[in-house]
Structure 1
Amino acid sequence: MASQPNLSHLLPAARLRQLACDWLREDAPAFDYGGYAVGDRQECAVLLCKSPGVLAGFPFFEAIFAEVGCSVEWLQSEGAWAEPISRVAEVRGPAKDILLGERVALNCIGRCSGIATSAAKACQAARESGWHGEVAGTRKTTPGFRLPEKYALLVGGASCHRYDLGSLIMLKDNHVWASGGITQAIRSARRVGGFALKDLHPTASTVKASFPRATVEASGGITEDNVAQFVGPDVDVVSLGCLTQSARAVDFSLKICRDPASKPQLRNFVF
């Protein structure tokens, strides 16, 4: 059996460092009084998953702790389904630095895992209907957090689709109306590259009959519960803004082990 591709290889190391640095600077722009209180004693903290979901966001979690001088040892694989309460990783380093990175890292892995979980459920629902097109996210992402959210879609099995406005020409109803009609809009778009049609009044079959090479995307009000209603032989892509807008974060905690010398067990923690 072929091994699963390592999606973390998609992420430039310099970009990961920059994001981690920006997030940490936002959370600790000046004095760290808690860090002063605990000092730099070497500690081991365990990352615990406390609600069910797909694990995602490992590269960002690891980059945050690398930025504060801590190491991460993963106990589970990214993309795996986790049930509560399960041990996902161990973080080692000075107590003040573990606690400095804790909240930022938990925010990141919790949101990424929530998006991956929603994406996986939507993909499963589409496949169970017998459709083999592309389930995709949208540009409805959190400002400043698009890269982790798009990455989480991939971990969950969905497509990033358009990362930004330059990734693909997307012709929506507003473009058609501003151009004076669908034919004129498509002719203009074809001069500069590939395009997709979205949120148009003509049916997918009508569009395909006139423009067979166009990518037809269904979008608007689609969720993991009703996605099967929007797929069909003339639909190439279904995009769901809710995958990034409305995903419920998976619940994680980072707990410092009471006895760092022993192998951390769940009984060593206070919840």
Structure 2
Amino acid sequence: MASSLKYSNLLPASGEWKNDIRRYLSEDVPAFDVGGFVVGDEVKSATVNAKQSGVLAGVPFAQELADQTGLVIEWLIEEGAYIDVASGSKIPVAHVSGPVNNLLLAERTILNILSRASGIATKSRRVITLAREAGYTGIIAGTRKTTPGFRLIEKYAMLVGGVDTHRYDLSSMVMLKDNHVWATGSITKAVHAARSACGFSTKIEVECQSEAEANEAIEAGADIVMLDNFTNEGLVTAADNIKSKWLGKKNFLLECSGGLREDNLRSYLTNAIDIYSTSTVHQGTGVVDFNMKIDH
């Protein structure tokens, strides 16, 4: 990828995400800021430090928070870079300056954003690296099991870490799961109803529990078939059978969801599957620890 392609350019100059940042600030100080009153508004500088190793992510969101509080940030490390911090040490990530009350107002929220985003980016980088080392050439994608109100930052961090974001929301792609099929009556009925509404421009994915269901979904016109909760051996067999049956007849992708972990990754992955979707890159993921200290 060319260095001029920055993930921050995905974010619109004006958009709801900026209102999210405003809400984060309001959540932290809904009334009087006595600590800000105590320190006053003299201009001071501070340093944001990484206290743990990891991939830096969340920079545009931290930048927007600084902009909204009248602070100036000089970033010392490029987003997406791996910060290698020795045990017990710290590495400066950014210099921040502005009214000291605003420095302390923004401090915790900036650190929380960087910590959570960097944690997801770090785990994503680790998982995709392990997958490539294991010889897997397909797609690793995060799921929609994200934190309400924080999805944009979490999905953004996946991109910085190098994995696919899968669908962003219910409008991004049609995914027909078991409940949709049961409520509709059949996979075929569900796919046909979905296509009548979403047209040619939106992909349809169907969650399938067996080869027979997968074949029905493909026959009905599904673009992606998710083989759900298959065993390792059963997954490879089913994938080979399905692809052989439809070779030269239908174009589709096979996806597997559930069960992928760092400790089983090498034995779990197979290039018979085009996409592995997993929540392991963002759900229950650790953070990268940062702090901000006033220069003195």
TM-score range relative to shorter protein: 0.7 to 0.9
TM-score of the superposition, structure 2-length normalised?
Answer: 0.81
Cα distance, 1:129 vs structure 2: 1.9
Change in Cα spacing, 1:2 to 1:11, as seen in structure 2 (3 Å) is: closer
User: Is the contact between residue 196 and residue 214 of structure 1 (CA under 8 Å) also seen in structure 2?
Assistant: no
Cα distance, 1:194 vs structure 2: 1.6
Which residue is equivalent to 2:231?
Answer: none
> How many Å separate the matches in 2 of 1:249 and 1:5?
26
Task: For structure 1, list consecutive stretches of 5 or more residues without a partner in the other structure.
Answer: 259-271
Which residue is equivalent to 2:292?
Answer: 254
Alignment of 1:72-87 (within 5 A): 72-84=73-85, 85-87=90-92
Which residue is equivalent to 2:217?
Answer: none
Change in Cα spacing, 1:187 to 1:235, as seen in structure 2 (3 Å) is: farther
Change in Cα spacing, 1:185 to 1:126, as seen in structure 2 (3 Å) is: farther
Same amino acid, percent of matched pairs? 45
Matched, 1:194 2:203: yes
Matched, 1:9 2:44: no
> How many Å separate the matches in 2 of 1:89 and 1:177?
53
Cα distance, 1:172 vs structure 2: 2.9
Worse-matched range after superposition: 246-255 or 13-22? 13-22
Local SS of the residue matching 1:136: strand
Which residue is equivalent to 2:274?
Answer: 236
Alignment of 1:138-177 (within 5 A): 138-177=143-182
1:29-49, Cα deviation, whole Å (9 max, x unpaired): 110000000011111110100
Cα distance, 1:64 vs structure 2: 0.7
User: Is the contact between residue 62 and residue 110 of structure 2 (CA under 8 Å) also seen in structure 1?
Assistant: yes
The one-letter amino acid of 2:210's match is: H
1:94-142, Cα deviation, whole Å (9 max, x unpaired): 1100000001111111000000011111111111122221111111111
> How many Å separate the matches in 2 of 1:46 and 1:239?
37
User: Is the contact between residue 172 and residue 200 of structure 1 (CA under 8 Å) also seen in structure 2?
Assistant: no
The one-letter amino acid of 2:68's match is: E
> How many Å separate the matches in 1 of 2:178 and 2:266?
23
Which residue is equivalent to 1:214?
Answer: 252
Matched, 1:205 2:244: no
1:226-264, Cα deviation, whole Å (9 max, x unpaired): 233343233121111122211101000001111xxxxxx
User: Is the contact between residue 122 and residue 225 of structure 1 (CA under 8 Å) also seen in structure 2?
Assistant: no
Count of residue pairs brought into register by the alignment? 258
Local SS of the residue matching 1:48: strand
Which residue is equivalent to 1:25?
Answer: 26
**219, 241, 261: which one aligns with 1:223:** 261
Matched, 1:106 2:111: yes
Worse-matched range after superposition: 29-38 or 227-236? 227-236
Cα distance, 1:20 vs structure 2: 1.4
Matched, 1:125 2:147: no
User: Is the contact between residue 199 and residue 220 of structure 1 (CA under 8 Å) also seen in structure 2?
Assistant: no
User: Is the contact between residue 137 and residue 271 of structure 2 (CA under 8 Å) also seen in structure 1?
Assistant: no
User: Is the contact between residue 72 and residue 89 of structure 1 (CA under 8 Å) also seen in structure 2?
Assistant: yes
Cα distance, 1:215 vs structure 2: 2.4
1:149-177, Cα deviation, whole Å (9 max, x unpaired): 01000000011110001111123333344
RMSD: 2.0
> How many Å separate the matches in 2 of 1:185 and 1:216?
19
Which residue is equivalent to 2:224?
Answer: none
Which residue is equivalent to 2:228?
Answer: none
Change in Cα spacing, 1:236 to 1:189, as seen in structure 2 (3 Å) is: farther
TM-score of the superposition, structure 1-length normalised?
Answer: 0.88
> How many Å separate the matches in 1 of 2:171 and 2:209?
21
Task: For structure 2, list consecutive stretches of 5 or more residues without a partner in the other structure.
Answer: 212-237
